[in-house]
Amino acid sequence: MTSKNKVRQNIFFLIFVSIIIDKSCGFFKHAELHYRKHHRVITNETKQYLQFTYEDKNDDGPSHWPSSCNSGHNQSPIAYDLVPLLAASHQHPLKLIGAYNTRPKQVHVINSGHGATFSFVYQNNAVPQITGGPLHDDIYNFASFHFHYPCEHRTLKYRNRCNLELHFVHFNSKYQTIENSIDKSDGLAVIAVLFEETEWGQPLKSLPFLPMLHHIYEPDTDYSEIYHVFSYADALGFRTVPKIVSYKGSLTTPGCAESVTWIVVDHLFLILENDMDKIYKVRDHEGLRIKRNNRPIQPINGRKVYVYNDL
C-alpha cells in the first residue's frame, strides 16, 4: 500500500471514530437527562406531612401521631384472629378486574424516607380494579403499593414468622380521586399480602419490583422504569384471589383515616433472605437503613372480622 493510500485510510478511520464518539456523547447525554428527569430529589415543599417515626421514644413516634391515630376507635393494624372469624353472609368472591393483567407504560417508585412506594402509569386511562367480596358492587381503583416490615397485621398461627407485608392501596371509583376518598367510610380498600423470610428454597411469589430499589436507596429520591415494567397482577403475585379476611379499619400512617376496608390474604408467602436484604437497604431521612416501619397492633374494640373467598 502506498503512503498516499495509508494517509487516506487513516483520515477515513479518524472521521469514522469521530462520528462514533459524537454519537456516543449524544447517547450518554440523553441517558444523563433521562436519569435526572426520573431520579430527581424531592423538594422540601413535598415533605410537609411526612415527619413521623416508628419509635415511641421519639416525640413523633406512634403514641404522638396526630388526628385519629390516638383518638379513633377503628384503628389498624390488628391481630385479626384474636376474635372469632365470621363467615361472610354472601360469598361473592373478591375479583380483580380492569387492567390488572396489563403492563403499564411506566412504573414509578419513590423513597419517602419511611419506605418505598410504587405506582403505575397506564395508557388510555386504564387502571387495575377490584370489586366483590367485602366491597360488594363498588369498584375500587388501584393507586399504589408499598411495604412494611416486620408485618403489621398479626395472627397467632404465624406468630413471629411474618417479616414483610405488602399493601396495595385502592380508592372507591365513585369518589373519582384518592384525595376525595380518604375521608369517606367506604373510601379506601387495601389488600395486605404477608411474607416469611427464608434462607433457602424457591420463593412461592416473585417480587418483580425489587430490581428498582437500588435507584432509591437514598431518602427523598424517585425513579421511573419504562423498559422492565410489570403488571399489577405480577406485583400482587396471583390473578385469582385466595382466602381473605376483612374488617373495617384505618390507614397505618398519620393521620390514620378510618376509611379502609382491609383485605388481608390469609396465607404466608415466602421471600428469600437475599431479597429482604435489598429492602433493608432503603434509607430514612437520617441516612440510616430503615430497620422497621410497622405500626404497633391496635385494639379491636368489638369490630367483626369476616372470611371471604374460602371456597
Q: What is the mean pLDDT of the chain?
A: 85
Least confident of 39-48, 148-157, 239-248: 39-48
User: Quick one: 62 and 93 in the same domain?
Assistant: yes
Q: Residues 65-118: pLDDT tens digits?
A: 998 999 999 999 999 989 999 998 777 889 999 999 999 999 999 999 999 999
Residues 28 and 109 in one domain: no
pLDDT exceeds 60 at position 23: no
Q: Mean pLDDT across the stretch 283-289? A: 95
Angle ∠(309,104,268) on CA atoms, nearest 5: 35
The Cα 165–Cα 168 span in angstroms is 10
Query: CA-CA distance, 278 to 142, in Å (whole number)?
Result: 25
CA 47 distance to own-chain centroid: 19
Q: What is the pLDDT of residue 25?
A: 40
Q: Is residue 280 within 8 Å of 116, Cβ to Cβ?
A: no
Indicate if the pLDDT at residue 302 is higher than 90. yes
Q: Label residues 108-132 b or e (16+ Cβ within 10 Å = b).
A: bbbbbbbbbbbbbebeeeebbbbbb
Residues 138 and 9 in one domain: no
Domain extent, residue 202, equals 42-308
Count structural domains, the chain: 2
Indicate whether this model's pTM tops 0.75.
yes
Instruction: Give me the pLDDT at residue 129, please.
Output: 98
CATH number of the domain to which 144 belongs: 3.10.200.10
Q: pLDDT for 24-67, tens place per residue?
A: 344 333 333 333 333 333 333 334 446 899 998 888 999 999 98
Mark whether 190 and 266 lie in a shared domain.
Answer: yes
111 and 29 both lie in a single domain: no
* Mean pLDDT value of segment 9-35: 37
- Grid coordinates of 70: 390516638
The per-residue pLDDT for 240 is 87
- Do 21 and 121 have their domain in common? no
Average the pLDDT over each of 102-106, 165-169, 218-222, 269-273 and give the range with the smallest value: 269-273
* Co-location of 11 and 157 in the same domain: no
Same domain, 100 and 151: yes
> What average pLDDT does the segment 256-266 reach?
97
Count CA within 13 A, CB hemisphere, residue 236: 27
**Joined grid coordinates for residue 243:** 382466602
Write the CA distances from 118 to 110, 111, 209, 235, 242, integer angstroms: 7, 9, 8, 10, 23
| Residue with the three cell numbers 447525554 | 29
The C-alpha cell at 255 is 393521620
The per-residue pLDDT for 204 is: 57
Average pLDDT over residues 229-247: 93
Residues 33 and 177 in one domain: no
Residues 141 and 243 in one domain: yes
pLDDT at residue 278, rounded to an integer: 95
28 and 101 fall within a common domain: no
Q: What is the rounded distance in angstroms from the CA atom of residue 166 to the CA atom of residue 162?
A: 11
Q: Are residues 8 and 94 in the same domain?
A: no
